[in-house]
Amino acid sequence: MGLFSNKISRDELKAGDHIYSWRSYIYSHHGIYVGDGKVIHFNRRGGLEIGTGTYLDNIIQISVPRHGDNPCPNCGDQSILDGVISSCLDCFLAGGSLYLFQYDVSKAILVAKQRGGTCTTAPSDPPEEVVHRAKCLLWSNGFGEYHLLDNNCEDFAIYCKTGLLVFSVTKSGSSSQVNAVCAAGGVASLALRYLGVGRTAGQAASLAVSPATVVSAATRAVTMTLGLVTTGFAAVAVAGYSNYCIGRVAYDVGVRKDVRKVPVEELATLMAVRNILDNTNSDKNK
């Protein structure tokens, strides 16, 4: 595992590892390896990682593999499951490669990793504590409702590793994939929220959004996220990329000031209360 790749072999896996597999260039699915070939992870029912009910759902590949008429002999058909689930490593990877999320990296390493969703400056707790959190959340299904921007699979894995949650009026998630997009200027974040993604999921069904509009927004988001701003002016491009790097560090869960250590025994109650408040606020805004 080097500077540019976190890829590892299965023989290197240890209980308590935060692992992930890329589903596309800008999206990866995350989970906690708990030993005995099992991974605990967080997903949306049917593998709809976005869940807008629009063409955007087809851009991100599913997190839970569909086995058709041949379900996994170990896991069965998991496409109908929702929330925190346990899968064998093969089902979790869904044919992708295995990568290890890095903790306690320097800010220089964080910036060097151009793609979000690979590392954080936050330190990890001991493996036994990580596995305990993951299993508790599996038994209680206590990580709330899945939301791509605010409460996703990476947020789940980071919480299991650190016990940290982000509390903010503007962003409640700790996902570095999402934060990398926000650091790139917020284009994807704003576009996805306009489509109804986030803590007000469900509103998207009432939006008449064309596939062309969605693809255009996604293309711009990818371009900005990768720092490939082709303005024709080198100085502007360099300045933009510098802001992107600074933003990624500022958004990182290991640096942010709006984080709090939450015991796993209290998390389910906290998530339930937060969902009630979010739904109440959503109803008021209708």
Active-site choice (18, 30, 41, 147): 41
Q: Contact, 39 vs 31, CB < 8 A?
A: yes
Instruction: Say whether 91 is catalytic.
Output: no
Active-site choice (75, 119, 136, 153): 153
The CA-to-CA distance between both ends of the chain, in Å, stands at: 49
Three-class DSSP category at 277:
helix
Query: CB within 8 A of 268, min separation 6: which ones?
Result: 137, 140, 142
Phi, psi values for residue 147, rounded to 5°? -140, 130
Instruction: Say whether 29 is catalytic.
Output: yes
Query: CB within 8 A of 138, min separation 6: which ones?
Result: 40, 84, 85, 86
Residue 158 has a CB neighbour count (10 Å cut-off) of: 28
| C-alpha span between 34 and 49 (Å, rounded) | 23
Closest by CA position to 151, among listed 89, 79, 200, 220: 200
Instruction: Say whether 41 is catalytic.
Output: yes
Active site residues: 29, 41, 153
